[in-house]
Each structure stands twice: as structure tokens, then as C-alpha cells.
């Protein structure tokens, strides 16, 4: 049986797809080669915006069209939040919710003893409450690989209980569930032994790691254990909420050699009244204090953010306040989204809807500001020494090696040596388009 897995959305989805791929391989399935039709197609969906829902339906139809004889299974957040819409697409055989995603291989084997077809949210079995089995998708085996990459993602947490007024994720992913720290350590050890040079800790609400066990400072404590693992590797954190970047975490991100000096801290809006309507538990002054503190501690630290344009009630004055606030901050990259109505969320019933054309223009202005800040940040790196890992070659750049720096900038290394340490120092010599131009400095090759 040849299988094909397509993944949309976040890092956690990518991790769960890798887990499913290994489970299918163990059962004797094999991945379909490029250009080869599959006998089984699985789409792991996202549902963060209305646009992603549309993309999911388009991808389902494409899989059916390109693999006419295949069994089609759909899982992930869209399958969780609107299974009837997924099932309505002709050709879909099974719809499996997030909390049974990790058991798809058992469903296929016919020995899981659970319904294969999700009829409604009440039919989705609750996650286990004990340590290792509480990831929300069954107790998946530890991964032995993470694709043909130098970076491996490790899922340490699932679920969200923040209930921001615009967000469907708590309904799609359920309550907090944290991976057992011993299990996380073993997974990182496996990846380090396999030669992965960067480990990315990921979660649906990463900063809530340990909250279901009533632990405080869970991410910091986990990092403190992981950096003691022997080996030449580094750890990167995925998105963290502003109020969850505590003093201990600040110290690690700005001072620990094995922890990348890069944080992604969603703001969502730079106007306090809109933040209140969004049910975000901080205000602009707190956010600014954190960002400026991080910048003062490390001038090379990358600080990214998420921004939503056109939230209900965001009039022209509120947007201008938000834009001007963002302009004052030492941020390095933006992820900009137009507000998308999600049925079932509090914001779906709010007044003050913003016209689509206005949202589009606001997104343009925000992205221009983000691009300007990123260019400025890259220019400031010229002449500095950064740490990098290889993430592949790029033919159109003349075969130069593409790198990723510790502070989340892509770099181009021409005429690379035949061998490199997993993590190695480079000096930034210049800029080219959206890339840094770098040269390897001292001790660049293995003995």
C-alpha cells in the first residue's frame, strides 16, 4: 500500500504527520514516490482562518483528482471543528478528529476498537490524563527521523485554554496536555544522535507547558534539562505568549549557548481597547517593556510577532495607534493576518465589522512595516559573528549552501568546505536580497 500524507498548518501538525508516517511504515506501508499515485491519502488539516478552511477543501479535491483509486482520510483541526463540511466533500472516506489522529494506523489495521468515522465532537474520546499518554493524539512512539532536514521539531505540549475571542484553536485542540519531560528528553537525545543540529520545541500553547500538572516555569525547567544533553546542537522555541516569557526564560534565551536568541511573541494588536475585545491578558505597555528589555540584553536577538488586521471595532484611529505602536518597537519580523470570522468564537458576534478592502490595505501597511524592520535588522548584522546550521543547497543561488542563523536569519555560504560542525560560527560580510552573505570563521571543519 502506497500512502501520501499532506500537511497544512502549524509545526505541531507537521510533527504529528511525521509520527503517523513512521507508524504506517512500521505496518508495511510505503510512501508514494513523486509522480506515483497513492492507495491511501491522508490530509492533516488546519482551521486557523476561513481561508485555511477553503484551502483544506481545495486540497481534498486535489488529492481525490490526482489519486482516483485511493482511500481518502481527513484529520486535523478542520476535521475536528467542522467534520460535516469535510464529510460533504465527495470521495472522503473517513474523518478523524485531532484526539484520534495518532491512532489512524490502528483504525486502518482494524484493531483499534474505536469508531473510524467521527460523527460529532461528543464522539471524540477524551485524552488520557496520565503523563505520557496525555499528548492528545494517543501515546505516539518516539520519532527516529524528521524528514531530510537538519532541523527536527519536538512536540512538548498540546491544547489551549486561553479562549482569545477570535480563536477556534481551543475548540479544535482541547485542554492543556503536556508531554512527560522524560519523554521529551529521550526524543531530543534520539534526534541529536541522528545528527539533527537544531531542535525546535513546539506546542499549541507552548508557554502553558506544565500547566496541566500545576507547574510554574515549565518551559524554563524543561530547557534547563535539555541543554545538559551532550552534543553539538541548539534549541529553538516556537511561539510564546508575552506573559509567559518569565525572567528565567529571558536569561536562557539571552545567555545560554545552546538556546537560540530568537523569540516569537504574538502581539495581535497595538491598541489596548482592541486587545481587551480580543481577550488578550496584557496591554501594550507590558508588551513594550518586555521587548525593549530583551533588546537591551541582546542587540542581536530576533523578536517576531503576529498581528491581526481588521478585528471588529478596529476603526481608523485604533489601527493608526496600533501601527504607530508597532513602529516604535525593535521587532524583526511580522506575521500579518486579516481578521477571519470563526463560527463558535465570541468575536463572531461582535459589532464593528471592518470591510474586506480596508483589512487588505491595513495588511499591506503592516507587512511593509515588518519588511522595513527586517531589512534594518539584517543590515545591523553585517560584520557580526553568528552561529549557523545548514538547511540545504539552493541551485538558483549557484549551489551556495543555505544556512539558518541562531537569530532566525537565512544566510548564503558560497564555496562551503566539504564538512562542517553541526553548529558553526559565520561572519556576516554583506546582504543579498533577503539573505545574509557569510563566511565560515575559525575551526570550520571537523578534525
The predicted model scores a pTM of 0.90
Q: Class for domain 2-121, per CATH? A: alpha beta
pLDDT for res 56: 97
Closest by CA position to 277, among listed 335, 343, 350, 345: 350
What pLDDT was estimated at residue 398? 63
Buried-state track 205-239, b at ≥16 Cβ within 10 A, e below 16: bbbbbbbbeeeebbbbebbeebbebebebbbbbbb
Domain extents for the chain?
A: 2-121, 151-380, 385-440
Class in CATH terms, 151-380: alpha beta
DSSP 11: H
pLDDT of residue 119: 37
Helix (H) or strand (E) holding 288: helix 284-297
pLDDT of residue 400: 87
* pLDDT at residue 127, as a whole number: 35
For residue 141, the model assigns a pLDDT of 85
All residue ranges of the chain with pLDDT < 50 are 111-138, 395-396, 444-447
Contact present, 376 and 329 (Cβ < 8 Å): no
Class of domain 385-440: mainly beta
d(CA 273, CA 278): 9
pLDDT score, position 417: 86
What does the pLDDT read at residue 446? 43
pLDDT of the residue at 329: 98
Q: What is the pLDDT of residue 139?
A: 60
Amino acid at each position: 500500500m502506497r500512502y501520501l500524507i499532506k500537511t497544512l498548518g502549524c509545526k505541531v501538525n507537521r510533527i504529528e504527520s511525521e509520527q503517523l508516517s513512521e507508524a504506517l511504515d512500521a505496518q508495511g506501508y510505503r510512501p508514494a514516490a513523486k509522480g506515483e499515485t497513492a492507495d491511501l491519502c491522508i490530509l492533516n488539516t488546519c482551521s486557523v482562518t476561513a481561508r485555511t478552511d477553503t484551502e483544506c477543501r481545495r486540497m481534498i479535491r486535489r488529492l481525490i483528482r490526482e489519486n482516483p483509486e485511493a482511500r481518502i482520510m481527513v484529520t486535523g483541526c478542520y476535521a475536528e471543528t467542522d467534520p460535516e463540511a469535510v464529510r460533504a466533500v465527495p470521495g472522503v472516506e473517513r474523518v478523524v478528529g485531532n484526539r484520534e489522529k495518532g491512532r489512524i494506523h490502528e483504525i486502518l489495521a482494524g484493531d483499534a476498537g474505536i469508531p473510524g468515522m467521527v460523527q460529532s465532537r461528543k464522539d471524540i474520546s477524551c485524552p488520557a490524563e496520565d503523563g505520557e499518554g496525555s499528548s492528545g493524539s494517543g501515546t505516539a512512539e518516539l520519532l527516529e527521523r524528521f524528514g531530510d532536514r537538519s532541523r527536527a521539531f519536538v512536540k512538548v505540549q498540546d491544547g489551549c485554554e486561553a479562549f482569545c475571542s477570535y480563536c477556534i484553536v481551543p475548540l479544535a485542540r482541547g485542554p492543556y496536555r503536556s508531554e512527560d519531560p522524560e519523554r521529551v528528553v529521550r526524543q531530543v537525545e534520539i534526534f541529536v544522535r541522528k545528527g539533527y543540529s537544531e531542535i525546535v520545541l513546539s506546542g499549541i500553547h507552548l508557554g502553558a507547558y506544565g500547566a496541566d500538572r500545576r507547574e510554574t516555569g515549565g518551559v524554563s525547567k524543561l530547557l534547563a534539562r535539555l541543554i545538559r544533553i551532550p552534543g553539538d546542537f541548539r534549541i529553538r522555541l516556537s511561539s510564546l505568549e508575552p506573559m509567559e516569557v518569565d525572567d528565567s526564560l529571558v536569561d536562557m534565551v539571552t545567555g545560554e549557548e545552546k538556546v537560540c536568541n530568537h523569540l516569537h511573541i504574538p502581539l495581535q494588536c497595538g491598541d489596548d481597547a482592541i486587545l481587551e475585545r480580543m481577550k488578550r491578558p496584557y496591554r501594550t505597555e507590558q508588551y513594550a517593556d518586555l521587548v525593549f528589555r530583551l533588546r537591551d540584553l541582546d542587540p542581536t536577538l530576533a523578536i517576531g510577532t503576529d498581528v491581526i488586521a481588521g478585528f471588529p471595532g478596529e476603526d481608523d484611529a485604533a489601527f493608526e495607534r496600533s501601527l504607530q505602536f508597532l513602529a516604535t518597537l525593535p521587532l524583526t519580523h511580522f506575521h500579518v493576518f486579516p481578521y477571519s470570522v470563526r463560527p463558535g468564537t465570541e468575536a463572531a458576534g461582535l459589532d464593528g465589522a471592518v470591510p474586506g478592502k480596508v483589512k487588505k490595505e491595513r495588511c499591506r501597511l503592516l507587512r511593509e512595516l515588518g519588511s522595513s524592520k527586517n531589512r534594518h535588522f539584517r543590515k545591523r548584522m553585517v560584520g557580526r559573528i553568528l552561529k549557523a546550521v545548514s538547511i540545504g543547497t539552493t541551485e538558483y543561488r549557484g549551489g551556495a549552501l543555505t544556512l539558518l542563523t541562531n537569530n532566525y536569519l537565512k544566510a548564503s555560504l558560497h564555496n562551503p568546505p566539504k564538512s562542517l560542525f553541526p553548529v558553526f560560527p559565520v561572519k556576516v560580510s554583506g546582504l543579498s536580497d533577503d539573505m545574509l552573505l557569510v563566511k565560515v570563521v575559525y575551526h570550520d571543519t571537523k578534525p
